[in-house]
Amino acid sequence: MDQINSNKAKWFLPSLVAVGAVVLCATPFVGMYDISLTDVFGSAESGVAGRIFWNLRVPRVVAAFLAGAALSLGGMCFQSLFRNSLATPYTLGVSSGAALGVSLALYVGVSAALGAGACAFAGALVAISLVYGLTHARGGSSTATMLLAGVALSFTFSSLLLFIHYISRVSDSFRMIRWLMGGVEVAGMKSLLSLGAFALVGAVVVWWHTGDLNLLAVGEEFAASRGADVSRVKLRLFLAVSLMVAGVVAICGPIGFVGMVCPHICRLAGGRNHRRLAFTAPLFGGVFLVLCDTLARTVIAPAEIPVGVVTALLGGPFFLWLLLSRRRIS
């Protein structure tokens, strides 16, 4: 049985690469109006269909892949650091801080000048700074203290967010709610390059510490006994994941369940070794969000469903199935 599982884990990454290549190449052609190869590479390349393909659909698919990969990789990292199956990339209050930043900007009326993305990123950075400040005020970098600080700040920011909703105009309140549902409506290359830069920097830091993640998943004492500088490694990983997720939330809004469910699927199919999981998790998360976004923009076309609604509808029942299947998913 162990040999069969080992063979499955061996072939999971190559299979995922192949499926991901097919999905990334095929999904830009799918939409409210299907686009053919002739429309893109033929005589109509400079026509409307070609411009829609290259200027709208390709950047959107790439953005969805980068966002899904970053969220899944961040979830994998936090689940190992906290040794908690329910940990997500938003555990430290990054999502709540970003949402509060956007809501404040909309209420004050500065979002048009600064951009919702910049306001969201500023709010996320405030949340990260407060979590680390509260943790170090206790005299260390305890994982439990950091987790509790993140949860407490999330509740605080959520309460402030509800207060802003209550006193805002109806139009501003609707825009806040729509942003909180998450979306990958990326137009142009500037947002795409920003998202890619944050995702790449965070991923490089996580990949550099995959060996330490294998040790920390067992326990901090075990990692320290094997020579790992636990405090420094944890600080680097927390900062990398938090900044990576802050970049995603600033561009796409909070998209739930990707960072919780996708790492679990990769552990079940590809094993728990973080040297391999650090590549399978972002690949699977990227493909998953691309498919969810394709479904969101086609199922009730010409209208669109916020992709965060789709990920919740798919991720919630699947996670319940994992819990009821009696498999170990931690």
**Whether pLDDT at 2 is above 70:** no
User: Which of 69-83, 124-138, 260-274 shows the lowest per-residue confidence on average (mean pLDDT)?
Assistant: 124-138
**How far apart (Å, rounded) are the C-alpha atoms in residues 149 and 49?**
49
**Whether pLDDT at 183 is above 70:** yes
- The better pLDDT of the pair 122, 281 is held by 281
User: Which of 90-94, 266-270, 315-319 shows the lowest per-residue confidence on average (mean pLDDT)?
Assistant: 315-319
Question: Which three-class secondary structure state does DSSP give residue 141?
Answer: coil
**Whether pLDDT at 3 is above 50:** no
DSSP 139: S
User: Which of 105-119, 205-219, 305-319 shows the lowest per-residue confidence on average (mean pLDDT)?
Assistant: 105-119
**pLDDT at residue 124 in the model:** 85
Q: Which candidate, 176, 195, 162, 163, places its Cα nearest to that of 111?
A: 176
Domain membership of residue 237 (yes or no) is: yes
pLDDT band at 28 (very low <50, low <70, confident <90, very high): very high
Q: How far apart are the first and last CA of the chain?
A: 21
Domain membership of residue 301 (yes or no) is: yes
Domain membership of residue 223 (yes or no) is: yes
Region of 140 (left: φ > 0; alpha: ψ -120 to 50; beta: rest) is left
**What pLDDT digit, counting tens, does each position of 31-90 carry?**
888 788 877 776 544 577 888 888 889 999 999 999 999 999 999 999 998 888 778 888
**pLDDT at residue 111 in the model:** 56
**pLDDT at residue 24 in the model:** 95
Residue 217 burial (CB count, 10 A): 18
Q: Tell me the one-letter amino acid at 300.
A: I
Q: Tell me the one-letter amino acid at 180.
A: L
Beta carbons of 237 and 77 less than 8 angstroms apart: yes
**How far apart (Å, rounded) are the C-alpha atoms in residues 301 and 206?**
38
Backbone angles phi, psi at 328, to 5 degrees: -80, 115
- The better pLDDT of the pair 224, 284 is held by 284
**pLDDT at residue 4 in the model:** 43
Mapping DSSP onto H, E and C, the string for 19-68 reads HHHHHHHHHHHCCCCCCCHHHHHCCCCCCHHHHHHHHHHHHHHHHHHHHH
Q: Which candidate, 63, 70, 98, 68, places its Cα nearest to that of 240?
A: 70
User: Which of 76-80, 205-209, 227-231, 304-308 shows the lowest per-residue confidence on average (mean pLDDT)?
Assistant: 227-231
**What is the pLDDT averaged over residues 106-111?**
75
Give the CA distances from residue 97 to residues 1, 93, 104, 202, 252, in Å, rounded to whole numbers and listed in that order: 46, 6, 11, 19, 14
Give the CA distances from residue 279 to residues 60, 168, 283, in Å, rounded to whole numbers and listed in that order: 22, 43, 6
**pLDDT at residue 296 in the model:** 93
User: CATH code at 33?
Assistant: 1.10.3470.10
Domain membership of residue 239 (yes or no) is: yes
Beta carbons of 290 and 23 less than 8 angstroms apart: yes
**Whether pLDDT at 132 is above 50:** yes
Domain membership of residue 330 (yes or no) is: no
pLDDT band at 103 (very low <50, low <70, confident <90, very high): confident
Give the CA distances from residue 133 to residues 78, 83, 281, in Å, rounded to whole numbers and listed in that order: 19, 22, 30
The count of structural domains within the chain is: 1
Domain membership of residue 216 (yes or no) is: yes
Q: Tell me the one-letter amino acid at 75.
A: G
User: Which of 1-10, 180-189, 304-313 shows the lowest per-residue confidence on average (mean pLDDT)?
Assistant: 1-10
Beta carbons of 293 and 274 less than 8 angstroms apart: no
Domain membership of residue 329 (yes or no) is: no
**Whether pLDDT at 203 is above 90:** yes
**Whether pLDDT at 1 is above 60:** no
DSSP 214: H
**Whether pLDDT at 326 is above 60:** no
55: containing domain:
2-324
Averaged pLDDT score across all residues of the chain: 85
